Structure formats: C-alpha cells, structure tokens
Amino acid sequence: MFEGKEEMADKFEEIGDDHISSSAKTPLRADAFDITDQKKVELIQESVRDILNTLGMDLSDDSLKGTPKRVAKAFVYEIFGGLNPANKPKLSTFDNNYKYGEMLVEKNITVYSTCEHHLLPIVGKAHVAYISSGKVIGLSKMNRIVDFYAKRPQVQERLTMQVVQALQEALGTDDVACVIDAKHLCVNSRGVRDIESSTVTAEYGGKFKNQETKQEFLDFINLDTDFD
C-alpha cells in the first residue's frame, strides 16, 4: 500500500518533532547555486511578503515595509551563509615546528545556528580539540569553521560531525573531537516549552575514542577559565 499525501506529511512532521537527521551531509540540491545570491534575495523577499500577507500583517506600515527584504538578505548572507561553499574559511595549516604533542582545545566557541525542522534558533557553545600529527591550524580557524557549518539549516548531530570532518581533512589526522551543548528554541519556545533543557552532542575521532584521552578532553572543557 502506498501512503497518501496526508500520511506522508504527518510522517515528515513527526520526524521533525523528533529531531531526526536524514543525512550526515547537508541536504542540498544539485542546482543549489545555479542562481545568484541577489536573485535568491529577490525570490525570498517575495516569499516572505506572501507569508506576512497570509498572516494578516499590514505591509504598508512603516515598521513592516522593509521586513521582507531584511529577512531575505539575512537568510542569504548571514543566517544561511554557510550553505555557499564560496564562504568556507580557508583552513591554512602550518608545520608543528615547536613539536607540541599534547591536545589543543578551543573551548566555549559560540554557536548560532538554525534548526532545519522549524527554522528556529539553536544557541550554545562548541568545544573543539585536536592532537597534531605534524600540522597545526590557527586558533581562529577553529571558531570560523564552527561558524561556517552553523550558518545552515541544521541538526546538532550533523553540525558536530561536519566540524570534526572538516578539521580532520585540513589537519590530515583523525585525532579531532567536538562537543556541542546548545539550546533549541523549537524545544524551548514551542512544543513542550522546556526552557531549561539543552542538547549535548559529541563526535570523537582517532585517539579521542580512547577513554583516557576522551576524559582528558572533557576535563579541559570543565576547567574554570573565567579570567574576570
């Protein structure tokens, strides 16, 4: 028996409510970049205008006149700017000439992302670590790669994996780990409306799968680094 349209719609809505990811890769169509960013802004602007009109908003009001264009520009250039591979930061690496052989941890990286199921914010912190196999990377690049992959419609599990995979590729080592702790407004502001809960995801590669190394990383995350 084939499922009807209503049954299929209910199924997909349930998947979204359960925060299930369909893939470790961002689900982009092959023609995603066949049109320019400017054209995307124009098309999204009209779509936002239609949504606001449907909701009954008076778009002749001074406060709302510019909203469709503002939203469209924010979507294309800011909130979802990480969809465009042209915006991926260049992950330059350098020889580990000082022979630093312990793990390097960049903690409390701010995460601003968007849940792909309800297009509501995900806000939290990422903690990223690696052990050099001969290459090192600039500290700010770790922040930038988190920000790049966060600027997409996302699920947190996928974001965590994408950060690790990008750094593994850049550094030429499997020894990379990432933990993200974030609040999802699709949980906090709708549905169960649990404002206290947060979601923690982790991806461990190479030596970080070893329990001792993993625990060392988690201990670094929990260090009090408040310098005020």
The residues annotated with a catalytic role in the active site are: 115-118, 156, 184, 186
Give the phi and the psi of residue 83 in degrees, each rounded to 5.
Answer: -70, -30
What 3-state DSSP class applies to 157?
A: helix
Q: Are 129 and 220 in contact (CB under 8 A)?
A: yes
What 3-state DSSP class applies to 182?
A: strand
Q: Are 144 and 89 in contact (CB under 8 A)?
A: yes
Kindly state the tokens that stand for 93: 């690496």
| CA atoms within 13 Å, Cβ hemisphere of 85 | 6
Per DSSP bridges, beta strands 121-131 and 93-95 are: unpaired
* Residue showing tokens 């906090």: 188
Kindly state the tokens that stand for 117: 């199921």
Q: What sign results for the dihedral spanned by CA atoms 120, 194, 217, 203?
A: negative
